């Protein structure tokens, strides 16, 4: 596996790969790899000639007061893990080279970024779309792999690629979970042992909602209340948001039917965790 740390070297490498007609798969990450990241790498390795994984803790997608400083990092560990997954290139640029002093551009997607995580993290999605545009331009992938754990992010990037005619196929991949249902996340290492137990409540409450919907409940307000009550039963959990929205445009719905997204963000101690469930229900029963 080749490790590339400068933007110029990455661009040069991409030129060589393009000249030899190699199909490039790309997995953008903030590092501190876990099974979720590794599953994206596996899809890419399977479907492309060359897989590039980027590790970049993107400062502009963290709002002031968020966890940029305590975001876990371990490049040596990441290198080992990526190598074992047959990744070809790990791209780890420095913040100064991605955002030199005179950097002045912002990429912003409207509407889809306003609710859910966008409401509690105002600058977040502009930071994501700006860095992903830069990474797409540097790496020029044929396919790019994103997890459905960050479902809003996936849909925002799909919209951006469509609107800006960026020639990349964006592939959404399944959520990888621990045995007890907790979605794996780099932030999980910041959970103390009691918090780790408490964190199970995110997935549990989604599963509980699904049971109620499977049993016939179609009122989103009732389901929301059930989810919130369930989360509040866990003393270490503090709700940031719980929403039930249309799975395509994230607009509020008054009946659970069609493609529905149940998304939530919950603080467990100091750690903010997200999870979601996408349901597709027959419009008529
Ligand atoms: P991050 O390093 O947290 O920015 O995540 C990099 C990529 O991994 C994003 O596309 C995430 O959606 C994806 N990802 C993170 N956690 C999971 C998970 N539990 N299952 C699947 N994909 C994930």
Residue 96 CA to ligand 1 centre (angstroms): 24
- Per-residue pLDDT tens over the stretch 212-269: 999 999 999 999 999 999 999 999 999 999 999 999 999 999 999 999 999 999 999 9
Residue 284: predicted pLDDT: 52
48 Cβ neighbours under 8 A, 6+ residues apart: 23, 24, 25, 142, 143
What distance in angstroms lies between residue 277's CA and the mean position of ligand 1's atoms?
15
Pocket, ligand 1, Cβ cutoff 6 A? 29-30, 36-37, 39-40, 146-147, 149-150, 173, 175-176, 183-186
The pLDDT value given to residue 76: 98
Residue 49 falls in the annotated catalytic set: no
- pLDDT (tens digit, 9 = 90+) per residue, 195-221? 999 999 999 999 999 999 999 999 999
The answer to whether the CB of 91 falls within 8 A of the CB of 4 is yes
Q: Which of 34, 37, 49, 124 is an active site residue?
A: 37
Per-residue pLDDT at 283: 62
Q: pLDDT tens, 11-52? A: 999 999 999 999 999 999 999 999 999 999 999 999 999 999
Q: What is the pLDDT of residue 282?
A: 77
Q: Of 176, 144, 149, 173, give the one whose Cα is nearest residue 160.
A: 144
What CA–CA distance (Å, rounded) separates 61 from 126? 7
pLDDT tens, residue by residue, 71-108: 999 999 999 999 999 999 999 999 999 999 999 999 99
Nearest to 52, CA basis, from 18, 98, 103: 18
183 Cα–ligand 1 center, Å = 10
């Amino acid at each position: 596996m080749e490790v590339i740390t400068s933007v110029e070297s990455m661009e040069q490498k991409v030129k060589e790969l393009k000249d030899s007609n190699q199909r490039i798969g790309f997995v953008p990450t903030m590092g501190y790899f876990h099974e979720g990241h590794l599953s994206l790498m596996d899809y890419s390795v399977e479907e492309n000639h060359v897989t590039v994984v980027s590790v970049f803790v993107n400062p502009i997608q963290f709002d002031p007061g968020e966890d940029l400083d305590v975001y876990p990092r371990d490049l040596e560990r990441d290198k080992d893990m990526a190598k074992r997954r047959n990744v070809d290139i790990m791209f780890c640029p420095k913040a100064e080279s991605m955002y030199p002093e005179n950097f002045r551009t912002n990429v912003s997607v409207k509407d889809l970024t306003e609710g859910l995580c966008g409401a509690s993290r105002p600058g977040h999605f502009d930071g994501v779309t700006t860095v992903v545009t830069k990474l797409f331009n540097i790496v020029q992938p044929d396919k790019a792999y994103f997890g459905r754990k960050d479902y809003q992010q996936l849909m925002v990037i799909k919209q951006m690629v469509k609107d800006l005619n960026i020639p990349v196929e964006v592939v959404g991949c399944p959520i990888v979970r621990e045995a007890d249902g907790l979605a794996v996340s780099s932030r999980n290492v910041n959970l103390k042992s009691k918090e780790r137990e408490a964190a199970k409540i995110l997935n549990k409450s989604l599963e509980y909602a699904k049971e109620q919907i499977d049993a016939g409940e179609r009122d989103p307000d009732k389901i929301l209340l059930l989810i919130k009550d369930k989360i509040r039963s866990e003393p270490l959990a503090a709700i940031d948001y719980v929403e039930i929205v249309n799975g395509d445009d994230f607009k509020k719905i008054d009946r659970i039917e069609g493609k529905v997204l149940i998304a939530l963000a919950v603080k467990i101690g100091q750690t903010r965790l997200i999870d979601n469930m996408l349901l597709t229900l027959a419009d008529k029963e």
